[in-house]
Amino acid sequence: MTLGRALQADVLVIGSGAGGAPTAALAAEAGHDVVVLEEGPLVRQGEVVPFSLEQMGRQYRAGGVTPALGLPSITYTEGCCAGGGTEINSGLYRRPPVEVLTRWGLDDDAVTEIYAICDEVEKELSVQTVPGAQLPASEALRRGAADLHWRHDESPRWMEYPAGPAAWQGRRRSMTETYLPRAEAAGARLLTGHRVDRLIFDASRAVRAEVTTADGTPTTIDFRDVFVCGGAIQTPALLQRSGRRRGIGRTLAVHPTVKLTARFDDEVNVADDVPVHQVKEFAPDLSFGGSASNPGLVALALSDAWDRFGPAVTDWRHLAVYYAAITSVGRGRVTAVPGLRDPVVTYRLTRRDKQLLGQGLARLGLLLLEAGATEVYPAYRGAPVVRRPADLATVRATFSAGRASVMTVHLCSTVPFGDNDTAPAHPSGLLKATTNVWVNDASLLPDAPGVNPQASVMAVAIRNVRQYLEARR
């Protein structure tokens, strides 16, 4: 649906991902006239192969090529489609740990409320473990961790499985399958292909959104209240373009990851799904898991030392890609620059972060050798082929984050909530110095939770929109 004329709404929701979709559903079900603006297209599940280049072209921002500049640069991905990141991620689900919620300043009652919302979300999204056989690459991770006596478990996912299937036969319960249909059933209007250029303020009150449609047509939407849910990069960029800069975009937090490829005697490669086991022995500082491993992504993971690793690519059916993720103490920035359509994104890893990435890669290599990998290929320039534990000494000696392909998918904390003066948003999500602008997405989390953040984002968003609806009654 597109339009070239001005619209009006009680509640404007900008973005339709893990924050925006439940916000829209609850507001619409409470009787408000809701418009949801989504910059990307609507792509139904099954239209594209998960983790393929076609999916990246259609559902990721900039085709999935979005770096945070720094030494090294960190490649991140953002969903740009109806449903946002929930349409493209792995579907893994972790409740925020209680110590994280406490660190964020939530008291006992608030923690109880967040977990009650998690119960609801888990039911709505069918969060569960795999009822049938695991992917071979996931089983390898479990086996290696068990042999080393390292703490590990299977991460639940928001998936529906037909009776007795394997992991790759499930159907994702993303936002286009859950909260967005609920919102539309309650009367919300979802407009895809609509980018919000800026919000217009009258003193402390936002009154209008200036919008450009996918075909370049400018339009406007007037509203009573607005929820900005564009994700940790686009939300601060929009607020800055709208003249709100204080404390916004300065504290980008991510979980940086480095990768390696492991080769097994058996066929382990499944092109369109990811392993669900995770290793938490060194959490929250370090955690290990499996990545998408289609042949293109395998080649990508081998490309940093192609002269040594390249010959393995012909054996891609026996290869799987894994990651080591860290909880970083470094921070990044999102800065909207006048005249540029997209923000400048930077991230600075600390020395501790860089050391931890190297440690993580070596420990992950050890785990996979223990799991039966015959060769391991760490993704950094000049890396050796690892065939036995003794080779990991070379990894420790030669790893440098500057030579590595560092990536992340978890972006948050660019408009963090807090009671202190420096936090740009109130705990309710209301943007300080405004009376009707709420932020309700990953931007709002005070820091990276050390686990997959989608559950945290959804729980906080639902809590906030309920508080808003209660106050509006």
Partner 1 sequence: MPPFPSPRAVADFSDRLLAHDLPELPADRRRAAVDFAGRRIEGLPSPVRIGVGLVAATTSGLGRLAGPGRVVRFAARRPVPVLSEYVRLVRSLAYAFVWETWPDTAPDGTPAATAP
Residue 112 or 314 having the CB closest to partner 1: 314
Residue 421 CA to residue 433 CA, distance in Å, equals 12
Query: Binding to partner 1 by residue 63, rule CB under 8 A?
Result: yes
Question: Which residue numbers are catalytic?
Answer: 410
Please state the closest distance from residue 423 (CB atom) to partner 1, in A.
Answer: 27
Please state the closest distance from residue 66 (CB atom) to partner 1, in A.
Answer: 6
Query: Binding to partner 1 by residue 297, rule CB under 8 A?
Result: yes
Residue 391 CA to residue 312 CA, distance in Å, equals 18
Residue owning tokens 């979802």: 190
Query: Binding to partner 1 by residue 303, rule CB under 8 A?
Result: yes
Please state the closest distance from residue 81 (CB atom) to partner 1, in A.
Answer: 15
Q: If binding means CB under 8 A, how many residues of this protein chain bind partner 1?
A: 36
Query: Binding to partner 1 by residue 41, rule CB under 8 A?
Result: no
* Peptide bond preceding 338 in cis form (omega within 30 of 0): no
CB of 462 within 8 A of CB of 22? yes
Q: Give Dmax (Cα) for the chain.
A: 67
Residues 279-289: b if buried by 16+ CB within 10 A, e if exposed: bbebbbbbbbb
Query: Binding to partner 1 by residue 316, rule CB under 8 A?
Result: yes
- Looking at residues 385 to 414 of the shown chain, list those that interact with partner 1 (rule: CB under 8 A): 403, 405
Query: Binding to partner 1 by residue 300, rule CB under 8 A?
Result: yes
Query: Binding to partner 1 by residue 314, rule CB under 8 A?
Result: yes
Please state the closest distance from residue 306 (CB atom) to partner 1, in A.
Answer: 7
Residue 190 CA to residue 181 CA, distance in Å, equals 10
Q: Which residues pair with 425 in a beta bridge?
A: 417, 431
Query: Binding to partner 1 by residue 322, rule CB under 8 A?
Result: no
CB of 161 within 8 A of CB of 168? no
Please state the closest distance from residue 78 (CB atom) to partner 1, in A.
Answer: 10
**Which secondary-structure segment (H or E) carries 239?**
helix 231-241
Residue 67 CA to residue 370 CA, distance in Å, equals 34
Query: Binding to partner 1 by residue 348, rule CB under 8 A?
Result: no
Residue 394 CA to residue 385 CA, distance in Å, equals 10
Q: What region does 230 belong to: left with phi over 0, alpha with psi -120 to 50, or beta?
A: alpha
- Looking at residues 368 to 387 of the shown chain, list those that interact with partner 1 (rule: CB under 8 A): 381
Residue from 284, 295, 372, 418 binding partner 1 (CB under 8 A)? 295
Residue 296 or 418 having the CB closest to partner 1: 296
- Looking at residues 64 to 103 of the shown chain, list those that interact with partner 1 (rule: CB under 8 A): 65-67, 69, 73
Residue 384 CA to residue 205 CA, distance in Å, equals 58
* Residues contributing to the site for partner 1 (CB under 8 A): 52-53, 57, 61-63, 65-67, 69, 73, 294-300, 303-304, 306, 310-311, 313-314, 316, 337, 340-345, 381, 403, 405
